[in-house]
């Protein structure tokens, strides 16, 4: 007989999947589920082993009103788990982006401090349209995009890391969304790893600190309406480089 005296957690995983635990043992198992992948795997295996018992329960047709309530509550939610997962991944990516931006800011301070000691620039000369900015854009696949904006040259450079999806029926369209404003198209992206766009003054003014750069999937050639019509697959806020 294989008693689990030597492996109490393995026994605990079985007991947790069976649902018999209470009090401190239950809390310990819940903690292990969160922190110990091996424990969680063993719980999942036990859930599978015990699952056939559920076949013994007689099906019961739910009352007619049940579907209506479910349909209505789902109608108010964003559809599909991909959206939720996308958001979670983008939050992670934003965390990384924030760290990189902070690092870039530190480097910039060091650089500026060094340069200022060497040459004193005339106080009057200042770039009229503000400092360069970057936005980190992550999407749900492997593609990551770094957008850097040079206001003086009115040039936006996009560098794509990872796989560019090869999709002949759709275009990826680039947008700027000013804080509190509507999306304005910056054009569609070529299927290349780098993209340079020189922007007209009217558009260039919109690329300010806090504005969002986003990429949406549109019919080939770009949105027919002038506003995004397809899903936004990547976005990120502009901040000072």
Partner 1 sequence: MDRPPELQANSASKELLDLLSAVSRGDRTAFAELYRRTSAKLYGICLRLLGSEAEAQDLLQEVYVLVWQKAGRFDPNKASAITWLAVLTRNKAIDRLRRPRIGREGIEAAADVEDDSPSAFDIIREQDDSARLGRCLDELDERARIAIRAAFLDGDTYPQLAEREGVPLGTMKSWIRRGLARLRGCLER
Q: Minimal distance in Å, beta carbon 232 to partner 1?
A: 14
Residue (77 or 124) nearer to partner 1, CB? 77
Residue (18 or 157) nearer to partner 1, CB? 18
Q: Which residue has the tokens 């696949």?
A: 141
Q: What does the H/E/C string look like for 225-241?
A: CCCCCCCEEEEEECEEC
Residue (49 or 220) nearer to partner 1, CB? 49
Looking only at the bridges linking them, the beta strands covering 155-161 and 144-150 are: antiparallel
Backbone angles phi, psi at 234, to 5 degrees: -160, 145
Within 13 Å and on the Cβ side, how many CA atoms surround 204? 18
- Dihedral angle, C-alpha 62, 68, 74, 75, nearest 10 °: 170
Residue (20 or 179) nearer to partner 1, CB? 20
Q: Minimal distance in Å, beta carbon 109 to partner 1?
A: 40
Binding residues (CB under 8 A) for partner 1: these are 1-4, 11, 14-16, 18-23, 26-27, 30, 33-34, 40-41, 43-45, 47-63, 66-67, 69-71, 73-74, 77, 79-85
Q: Minimal distance in Å, beta carbon 211 to partner 1?
A: 28
Q: Minimal distance in Å, beta carbon 144 to partner 1?
A: 21
Q: Is 174 helix (H, G, I), strand (E, B) or coil?
A: strand
> 19, 48 in Cβ contact below 8 A?
no
Q: Minimal distance in Å, beta carbon 64 to partner 1?
A: 11
Residue (79 or 128) nearer to partner 1, CB? 79
Q: Is 12 helix (H, G, I), strand (E, B) or coil?
A: helix
């Amino acid at each position: 007989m294989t008693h689990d005296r030597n492996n109490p957690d393995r026994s605990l995983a079985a007991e947790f999947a069976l649902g018999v635990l209470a009090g401190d043992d239950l809390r310990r198992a819940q903690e292990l589920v969160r922190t110990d992948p091996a424990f969680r795997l063993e719980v999942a295996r036990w859930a599978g082993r015990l699952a056939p018992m559920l076949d013994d329960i007689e099906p019961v047709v739910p009352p007619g009103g049940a579907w209506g309530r479910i349909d209505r509550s789902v109608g108010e939610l964003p559809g599909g788990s991909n959206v939720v997962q996308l958001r979670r991944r983008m939050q992670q990516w934003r965390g990384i982006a924030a760290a990189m931006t902070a690092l870039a800011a530190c480097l910039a301070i060091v650089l500026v401090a060094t340069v200022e000691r060497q040459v004193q620039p005339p106080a009057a000369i200042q770039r009229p349209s503000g400092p360069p900015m970057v936005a980190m854009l992550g999407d749900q696949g492997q593609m990551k995009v770094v957008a850097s904006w040079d206001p003086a040259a009115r040039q936006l450079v996009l560098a794509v890391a990872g796989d560019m999806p090869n999709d002949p029926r759709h275009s990826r369209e680039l947008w700027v969304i000013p804080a509190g404003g509507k999306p304005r198209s910056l054009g569609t992206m070529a299927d290349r790893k780098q993209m340079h766009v020189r922007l007209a003054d009217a558009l260039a003014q919109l690329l300010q600190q806090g504005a969002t750069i986003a990429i949406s999937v549109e019919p080939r050639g770009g949105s027919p309406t002038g506003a995004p019509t397809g899903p936004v697959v990547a976005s990120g806020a502009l901040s000072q480089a």
